[in-house]
């Protein structure tokens, strides 16, 4: 039987770089959004809803788009609902389905928070990278996401 296929130096460097950068960028994003009174999942929920037709998505589709559990999303949407940024409704084509709908207050909140979020993303990640590095990261991590979501 063959032993483990250990990471070589270059692979280990890539793995450690991914872990460090992911954790540190995520921390920056979480801190910025926390100052705005939102979690990262709540912010991304508002973003996804704002881009959706009629500002609404089925909860299951929203959970899939955010790579989160349905129960975790339900909690976050409940918090957004309490704040008046989202409302839940029955899906038109399936009475058992539930959609999250962006409210006007939610759209305005997103418009307020988005500039600071984008500035943080630029400062923490994009401004550090050359355009070629940005493309390489987008291509590489896109391939990883595609493989893991295709299961």
Which string of DSSP letters, residue by residue, matches 59-114? HHHHHHHHT--HHHHHHHHHHHHHTTSEEEEE-SS-TT-EEEEE-HHHHHHHHHHH
Whose tokens are 């130096």? That residue is 9
Range of weakest confidence among 4-18, 47-61, 89-103: 89-103
* pLDDT one-digit tens code per residue, 72-130: 999 999 999 999 999 999 988 777 789 999 999 999 999 999 999 999 999 999 999 99
- Is residue 1 scored above 70 in pLDDT? no
Cα–Cα dist 102/55, whole Å: 5
User: What is the number of alpha carbons within 13 Å of residue 112 lying toward its C-beta?
Assistant: 12
CB–CB of 36/116 below 8 Å? yes
Give pLDDT, residue 93. 79
Q: What angle do CA 34, 38, 41 make, to 5 degrees?
A: 110
Give pLDDT, residue 33. 98
The whole-chain average pLDDT of the chain stands at 95
Q: pTM, whole model, 2 decimals?
A: 0.91
Domains of the chain and any CATH numbers? 39-149 (1.10.10.10)
- pLDDT > 90: percent of the chain: 90
Cα–Cα separations (whole angstroms), residue 90 to 24, 58, 97, 112, 149: 39, 9, 6, 29, 27
- pLDDT > 70: percent of the chain: 99
- Is residue 41 scored above 80 in pLDDT? yes
Cα–Cα dist 19/9, whole Å: 15
Give pLDDT, residue 34. 97
């Amino acid at each position: 039987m063959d032993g483990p296929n250990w990471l070589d130096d270059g692979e280990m460097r890539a793995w450690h770089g991914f872990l460090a950068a992911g954790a540190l960028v995520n921390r920056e994003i979480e801190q910025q959004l926390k100052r705005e009174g939102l979690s990262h999942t709540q912010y991304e929920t508002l973003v996804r809803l704002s881009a959706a037709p009629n500002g609404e998505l089925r909860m299951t589709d929203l959970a899939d788009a955010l790579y989160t559990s349905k129960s975790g999303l339900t909690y976050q949407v409940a918090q957004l609902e309490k704040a008046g940024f989202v409302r839940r409704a029955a899906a038109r084509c399936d009475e058992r389905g539930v959609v999250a709908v962006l409210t006007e207050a939610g759209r305005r909140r997103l418009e307020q928070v988005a500039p600071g979020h984008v500035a943080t993303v630029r400062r923490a990640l994009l401004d550090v990278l050359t355009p070629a590095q940005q493309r390489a990261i987008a291509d590489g991590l896109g391939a990883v996401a595609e493989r893991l979501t295709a299961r």
